[in-house]
Amino acid sequence: MRLIKRLKILVPTIVLCLLWFVTASYADQFKVTRVTDGDTIKVTNNGTTTTIRLVGIDAPELSKKKNDPGQPYSKKSTKHLASQVLNKTVDIKSYGKGRYGRTLGVVFVGGILR
């Protein structure tokens, strides 16, 4: 009987802790200050700027040279991403760092995946 009473207390406690850890992955909200290309953005929070590489997206790359247009549709993909997130407050679910030191993440605007 004591075991059943303990389980009645323990199981809801474990469930609440798990739910807290899932929601804790959205540590804070960020403001998107720049769209670098179709799969990379810069965000700020409390004066700190972070570069986010969007997980699961491989957009055409913009050229680093001034008069080179870059890969086909690179400007169009950058403009589309900017229309979705630029100057908006977003939540980011982080998946760690990529090989170039950027944070890998998924971006949500108003709770909707973008």
- Identify the CA nearest to 59 among candidates 40, 39, 86: 39
Q: How many C-beta atoms surround the C-beta of residue 65 within 10 A?
A: 8
Flag whether pLDDT at 78 surpasses 70: yes
Assessment of whether the complete model's pTM goes beyond 0.75: no
Q: Is the pLDDT higher at 91 or at 3?
A: 91
Q: Which residues, in sequence order, are CB contacts of 53 under 8 Å at separation 6+? A: 39, 40, 98, 100, 102, 103, 104, 105
pLDDT at residue number 64: 81
Both tokens of 30, joined, read 């960020």
Domains present along the chain, CATH in parentheses? 27-113 (2.40.50.90)
pLDDT tens string 19-73: 544 444 445 789 999 999 999 999 999 999 999 999 999 899 888 887 888 888 8
The residues annotated with a catalytic role in the active site are 53, 61, 102
Q: How many C-beta atoms surround the C-beta of residue 38 within 10 A?
A: 24
